[in-house]
Structure 1
Amino acid sequence: MGRHRTLRTRVRRGIARWPIVVTGLVAVLLLGWFGWTWLGGQLDRRASAEAGTCAEGQATLRIAVTPSAADAIRDVAQEWSGQRPIVYDHCIRVEVQPIDARTALDALTQGWDEGRLGSRPQAWLPDSTLWTNQLAQRSPAAVGSSARSVATSPVLLAVSEQAAGALRTATPPRWAELPALSSAPDGWARYGQPGWGALRVALPAPPANPASALAVQAVLADANGGQLGPDTVAGQQAGTAISQLASGAAGSPGTVTEALGAVAGNQLPGTGFSAVPALEVDLYRHNTGKDGAGAGAPLTGLALGGATPVADFPYLPLSAQWANEAQARAAQKFREFLDEPAARRILAAAGLRVSGDAAHPTAPGLDWPAQDQPLPPVDAATAEQITGAWAGATQGG
């Protein structure tokens, strides 16, 4: 019997491919559109920045800076501007206003005279926290956020080269020894120069000059085992030291810059003032002719025994009605840039000390000693108490 095989045809039913193709094309078109839009926005923003217009125009960030750091901060601002900073669609331009800290503090708390000082700032960079503490006490609403140090500068004793040679023949004095040395009629006799007479130390008004204020703090702390507080200042030992300092400094020039010029102009160390405490950066500016006071004889900076007083150059964003949102944010972003290596290099080259960069400029009279024992900052109440004690001593109290 023959077998019949039935051939069965299998019908394959596949899924249509055209919907997948269409979906893929749509996805590619959408991704391309979004990518083109994003790239176009980036190019537009870059073009706006390069054109100096930006979507919302230009905003100016004004910073009031102590003269000691004004040139350096201006150079940092120029470096930052080269990066085309944009904040809230505003191109940011930084304007540095060199203003001494006392003038800036008075203006911020009593009324800013734009005719005399220029437009009001959105940030402040004095040479010491002594100033920002006073602003926080007098006008808390003006403080936008906590102040942060951008650089430091130790206080050295500036003397002539001849005086430095005599001081180095023996153990250099400690801070605690300055009151007795400065008020004695024969202070130079201790260093083998009895014919020079008094070793007078100029102290330009401590309430207005941080170098003087920090030097007084160092004297009191060193005489009290490194400790300094309200009880220390109220003691008889501190009162005697302040009276001796005030007596020896009677007739001091009004500013450290003027005092540096006076010491440099003395032909003999015993003529007039023999020394003046000064910030290292101010001594650098004096010795290199960058302080605008004219060429003078370079002075030598000596680090005295005991904890070294240090100015901390705090950067403080201001909370002010005249600062718009873009300016306030720009003030914060510029503070962040001051921590960048490029900014630190500029500050170090200007004679300031910064973390992460140990380079120092070459200058006569300066060897940039290590800061092994910095004096801890005092609280605002103790600083104010010292100011009051100094006022009492200079007024015969």
Structure 2
Amino acid sequence: MGEHRGAGGVRGVSKGPLIVLVLVALLVAVVFGWFQLRERIDKQADQAAGMCVEGESVLHVTAEPDIAPVVETLAQKFSDTDPVIRDRCVRVEVASAQARAVVGALNADSGEQWDDSVGPRPNLWIPGGSSALTELEQPDVVAGEPHSIAVTPIVLAVPRVVAAALSAEPTGWQDLPALQSTPTSLEDRGLPGWGSLRLALPIGPDSAPTGMAVQAVAAAVAGAPTGPVTPEQLDTASVRTAVATLSRNAPVLEPSDITTSDSLTGMIEHAEDADATVHAVPATEQQIYRTLHDDEFARVDTFLPSGATPVADYPAAILTGSDETQSRAAAQLVEFLGTPDNAQLFADAGFRVPGTTLPTDTPLEFPDLGTPLVPADRPTATDLEHIVTSPIEDRATTILLDESQSMADQEGADTRLGNTTAALAAQIEKTPDTSSLGLWEYSQDLGEDAPYLATVSTGPLGENDRRQALTEALDAAEPATGSWTYSSLAAAYQTAVDNYVPGRTNSILLITDGVDDQEGSTRAELLSAIAEASDESTPVQIDVITIGENQTASTFGAVAERTGGTVRNVDSSDGPALTEAITEFSS
């Protein structure tokens, strides 16, 4: 018989389903944990970014003083957005410095030593004008193409009555030299007792408006509608005459390096005085708007001469030497400055920015800018500035030119005489019309009863076609025979003393290459003749240029010393030395 399992036995349970349930539970836990971990990692990454795991990066900005306050305000606004670039928190610091000082520091910067007097070396530099960038000696200092963040025109700050008088008839930049030099120019415009324009030309640290105003004058006189003034135009007599006239007749300012700001303040204080030292100051429109207060608006106005308009354009230049974070931060800040709301802050301060609204809290008019003036290159601008700071002096000079046989000697591509007359003609071409020049030629028997010939009488170049007469005489000059220098010099000196021109330097410019070979002529006789003709009330100096070796150099030295002149020796007529000496003695 078969056996059955007893009633008290235990039935077995299968383990398979339990194992599956455990595995499912573990899998759910793992997946849940993974999502939790990933969320935590993401949060930690976000927190790490917000905490700037790579630390802080300071963006150094240096801006022109007149625009620096607005830049500083917006830089703080930018910093308040907590910008993070390449895991670094970015903070912006703004320093204020004149472009001239920053240019000097950048040009002197060797990469190891920086002039801290202008603040930290900037990663972003905002000078007053693009012309400042052309002064940098190393072109790779600037990274990329600078972007203008605002502009303001260079205008004249003048009393309101002067502005009305200048506006009553067409007045361009080219008219300023005549308004400056004519004693009654404002009286002729209907302002009795006001005299001339009395346009100040400050040359202090903030004098960029002076330089740009002078460029506008030069461009207008040269007939360059929009500029820039070229070296060839600057070398013309008309341009040099205009700029020198403007400078020579400018009011004398104290101190000599007074700033534009102080000049402007002084003019405003005396705006209602017809006999004031200064009636006009070149400045930016924004500077004038910022300076005027309350009742001053009723006394002072701006005047913009017709012609191309000089402007300050405030380029934002990112400088090399910055790290990647600073370069990116600088680019972001420049973009931030140009957003509509931020750009309006520049306009509220008196700057011009497209798409913004100009201030309405002033009676000042903001005229249309017209065509901007293209700035001159740095060498040309420097030459113009030199004329302003050291204007060509009006002289009365008689050139005494040696045409002896030795002047036919070949030097370079031409003869000594050919090289000399070419250098003289070039100088005459660019000498102002108001300077007086004349020409005596000498050899042995050039005149009827004398070794010399008074070819062109000494007088202003702008009168009686004298410039053309001098040029034609020099072109026709030819070597002759002997060199009767002493008697010719004595006669020329006596004539210059007899025809002394008050108020300017009177001189004889002797150019010679040889010794005196007139029989019986002596050094003692020459010195005696000079002493006899000399008169303290009509001083005439004798300047001498000797070409090559000259055995009578000591005699010429004695003559120059006794009359207050100078002797220059050049080894050859072929080269810049002769040109430089002629320029020195005729300007």
> Under a length normalisation based on structure 1, what TM-score does the superposition of the two structures give?
0.81
Larger radius of gyration: 2
Q: 230-239 or 296-305: which moved more?
A: 296-305
Counterpart position of 2:424: none
Distance in 1, matches of 2:350 and 2:291, equals 11
2:206–2:260 CA contact under 8 A, matched in 1: no
Counterpart position of 2:219: 221
Letter paired with 1:142: V
Distance in 1, matches of 2:32 and 2:334, equals 43
1:286–1:298 CA contact under 8 A, matched in 2: no
Counterpart position of 2:287: 282
1:207–1:387 CA contact under 8 A, matched in 2: no
Distance in 1, matches of 2:129 and 2:355, equals 21
Distance in 2, matches of 1:161 and 1:250, equals 20
- Helix, strand or coil at the partner of 2:373: coil
Alpha-carbon distance change, 23 to 390 in structure 1, aligned in 2, over 3 angstroms = farther
2:101–2:118 CA contact under 8 A, matched in 1: no
2:160–2:298 CA contact under 8 A, matched in 1: no
1:264–1:297 CA contact under 8 A, matched in 2: no
- Helix, strand or coil at the partner of 1:196: coil
**2:263 counterpart of 1:262:** no
Aligned residue runs from structure 1 range 205-244, under 5 A = 205=203, 209-223=207-221, 224-226=223-225, 227=227, 228-244=229-245
Alpha-carbon distance change, 181 to 27 in structure 1, aligned in 2, over 3 angstroms = farther
Alpha-carbon distance change, 33 to 257 in structure 1, aligned in 2, over 3 angstroms = same
1:298–1:364 CA contact under 8 A, matched in 2: no
Counterpart position of 1:307: 308
- Report Cα offsets for 1:288-313 as digits up to 9, x if no partner: 49xxxxx9986311121111111111
Letter paired with 1:276: V
For residue 380 of structure 1, report the CA deviation from its aligned partner: 3.4
Counterpart position of 1:8: none
- Helix, strand or coil at the partner of 2:91: strand
**2:187 counterpart of 1:160:** no
**2:173 counterpart of 1:175:** yes
Counterpart position of 2:501: none
2:199–2:251 CA contact under 8 A, matched in 1: no
1:159–1:301 CA contact under 8 A, matched in 2: yes
- Report Cα offsets for 1:232-257 as digits up to 9, x if no partner: 21111101111111112252462210
Counterpart position of 2:142: 143
- Helix, strand or coil at the partner of 1:124: strand
User: Which of 97, 101, 104 is 1:103 aligned to?
Assistant: 101
Counterpart position of 2:384: 386
Distance in 1, matches of 2:30 and 2:274, equals 88
Letter paired with 2:326: Q
1:287–1:363 CA contact under 8 A, matched in 2: no
Task: Specify every segment of 5 or more residues in structure 1 that has no aligned partner in the other structure, as ranges.
Answer: 1-21, 49-53, 290-294
For residue 57 of structure 1, report the CA deviation from its aligned partner: 1.9
Distance in 2, matches of 1:178 and 1:28, equals 85
- Helix, strand or coil at the partner of 2:145: coil
Aligned residue runs from structure 1 range 1-397, under 5 A = 37-38=41-42, 40-46=44-50, 48=51, 54-111=52-109, 112-114=114-116, 116-135=117-136, 138-168=137-167, 170-205=168-203, 209-223=207-221, 224-226=223-225, 227=227, 228-252=229-253, 254-266=258-270, 267-288=272-293, 299-320=300-321, 323-357=322-356, 359-393=357-391, 397=587
Distance in 1, matches of 2:122 and 2:393, equals 36
For residue 272 of structure 1, report the CA deviation from its aligned partner: 0.7
- Helix, strand or coil at the partner of 2:334: helix
Return the structure number with greater relative CO, CA threshold 8 A, min gap 6.
1
- Helix, strand or coil at the partner of 2:201: coil
For residue 124 of structure 1, report the CA deviation from its aligned partner: 1.3
Letter paired with 1:140: P
2:186–2:196 CA contact under 8 A, matched in 1: yes
Distance in 1, matches of 2:30 and 2:174, equals 82
- Helix, strand or coil at the partner of 2:391: helix
For residue 395 of structure 1, report the CA deviation from its aligned partner: 6.9
2:186–2:194 CA contact under 8 A, matched in 1: yes
For residue 338 of structure 1, report the CA deviation from its aligned partner: 2.1
For residue 181 of structure 1, report the CA deviation from its aligned partner: 0.4
Distance in 2, matches of 1:296 and 1:98, equals 28
Distance in 1, matches of 2:49 and 2:32, equals 25
Could you tell me the percent identity over the aligned residues? Answer: 32
Distance in 2, matches of 1:389 and 1:84, equals 51
Distance in 1, matches of 2:45 and 2:382, equals 54
For residue 75 of structure 1, report the CA deviation from its aligned partner: 1.1
Distance in 2, matches of 1:79 and 1:193, equals 50
Count of residue correspondences: 362
For residue 205 of structure 1, report the CA deviation from its aligned partner: 2.1
